[in-house]
């Protein structure tokens, strides 16, 4: 028998013995192994059943924070308009004043009234 054949024979014998040893495993250990397997499968099922796991909360929270930070950054670095729509102090007063807002909204109507000669202050022109 050459060296290769001897080695093959040795390996076959070892494999046979190991397989036999596995079959002869103590029944108590066999039961414990089965319990381990069941627990592992149960753990993964419970993990998949719970949608909002702590890890997922961290992911969602982190993503939200990143989005807010990005928005703030772009608002911060974006150029402000060169000319303000309101340049005079009087205009500011008009915009900021809450009083007589109807008056300002109807200003065009009063202009029209004056130009057509129906001035309510001076009375009818005709």
Contact positions toward other proteins, by CB under 8 A? Answer: 7, 10-11, 14-15, 17-18, 20-30, 32-34, 36-37, 39-41, 43-45, 47-49
Shortest reach from residue 1's CB to other proteins, in Å: 13
Cβ proximity to other proteins: between 21 and 79 the closer is 21
Shortest reach from residue 66's CB to other proteins, in Å: 23
Shortest reach from residue 62's CB to other proteins, in Å: 19
Shortest reach from residue 47's CB to other proteins, in Å: 7
Cβ proximity to other proteins: between 41 and 58 the closer is 41
Q: Cβ(92)–Cβ(86) under 8 Å?
A: yes
Cβ proximity to other proteins: between 14 and 69 the closer is 14
Q: CA neighbours within 13 Å on the CB side: how many for 105?
A: 6
Cβ proximity to other proteins: between 44 and 95 the closer is 44
């Amino acid at each position: 028998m050459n060296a290769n054949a001897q080695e093959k024979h040795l390996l076959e014998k070892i494999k046979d013995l190991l397989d036999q040893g596995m079959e002869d495993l103590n029944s108590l250990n066999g039961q414990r192994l089965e319990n381990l397997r069941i627990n592992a499968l149960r753990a993964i099922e419970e993990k998949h059943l719970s949608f909002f796991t702590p890890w997922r909360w961290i992911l969602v929270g982190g993503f939200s924070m990143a989005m807010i930070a990005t928005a703030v950054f772009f608002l911060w670095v974006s150029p402000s308009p060169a000319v303000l729509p309101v340049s005079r102090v009087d205009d500011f007063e008009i915009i900021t004043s809450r009083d007589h807002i109807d008056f300002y909204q109807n200003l065009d109507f009063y202009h029209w009234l004056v130009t057509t000669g129906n001035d309510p202050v001076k009375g009818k022109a005709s």
